[in-house]
Amino acid sequence: MKNNPPKNNPRYANGSLRRKHRARLRAMGCECGICHGRFGPIHYDEPSDAAHPLSFVVDEIRPVSKWRQFGYSSARAAAEDWDNLQAAHYFCNAQKRDKTASFSLDFGAKMTKIPKVTDGSW
């Protein structure tokens, strides 16, 4: 037998765990952790892209890019930490980008209406 089982490939394992977390968040069906439901429930059945601003994405509460700052051993550790993940709208996640968690506290207050979408489908 010359083929290594997939679990020996770190990249595969990483993707697998991320998928598991994503599936778990989806199954929980929580409201958006960034706007806290201000824009309504997450549209879990829609594809996650810019055309569907209320679609579901996995948001990293503490940005993975700042893993050192938050005391993680690696960027991957931050990305795989279940406690660092929350469900969010595609739109809210895009607005947040790499800002820290404190941003989400101000976010709802600043936003007064649902973002405009050029295609007008919603």
User: Which residue's C-beta sits nearest to Zn ion?
Assistant: 32
85-104 residues in contact with Zn ion (CB under 5 A) are: 89, 92
For Zn ion, the closer of residues 72 and 84 by Cβ is 84
Contact 104, 33 (CB under 8 A): yes
Reduce the DSSP state of residue 89 to 3 states and report it.
strand
Please report whether residue 52 would count as binding Zn ion according to CB under 5 A.
no
| Count of residues near Zn ion by CB under 5 A | 6
Query: Which of these ranges, 17-25, 27-35, 95-103, 110-118, lies near Zn ion under the rule CB under 5 A?
Result: 27-35
Residue 78 found at the interface with Zn ion (CB under 5 A): no
Which of 121, 116, 101, 98 lies closest to 36, judged by CA?
Answer: 101
